[in-house]
Amino acid sequence: MPAVPHAFPIAVDADDIDFMGHVNNASYLKWVQEAVISHWQKLAPAEAVAQHLWVALRHEITYRKPAFLDDEVIATVILEKVQGARAFYETVIRRGEEVLAEVKSSWCCLDAETHRPARLARSVIERFF
């Protein structure tokens, strides 16, 4: 069953621009984190959002083209799979039809109280597919 994609609009701010006049690589990672968390908050039930936190374990990013101040940028997030307490995402960052970056990332779900890894209920996971 196909995953439900999540479009996350990104505002490129002056703070994102580096010494070469384009978006700093660190900003892409910040955007991916914001986009993945937004995806979780949009599709998961409020109770699950309140009970769980997400931390990034790994980001593998391929930069295709630079982004610049005031570009209209969209991150499209897709949950590829959930395995135990881990979730695997693909995020594509675009300016119009141009792919700026492709990111594969893995995340760990934590219990919000104990901060220990937590498995999600199947009913929660099914909302993403």
Reported as a single tens digit per residue, the pLDDT across 109-120 is: 999 999 999 999
pTM, entire model: 0.94
Strand ranges (E), 40-117: 52-63, 72-83, 86-95, 98-111
Q: Domains along the chain?
A: 6-128 (3.10.129.10)
pLDDT at 41 over 80: yes
Q: How far is CA 15 from CA 24, 47, 69, 93, 100, in A?
A: 9, 34, 9, 18, 18
44-100: per-residue pLDDT in tens? 999 999 999 999 999 999 999 999 999 999 999 999 999 999 999 999 999 999 999
Q: Are 75 and 32 in contact (CB under 8 A)?
A: yes
What is the average pLDDT value for the chain, to the nearest integer? 96
Q: How far is it, in rounded angstroms, from Cα 10 to Cα 57?
A: 22
- What does each C-alpha distance from 28 to 4, 65, 112 come to in angstroms? 22, 12, 26
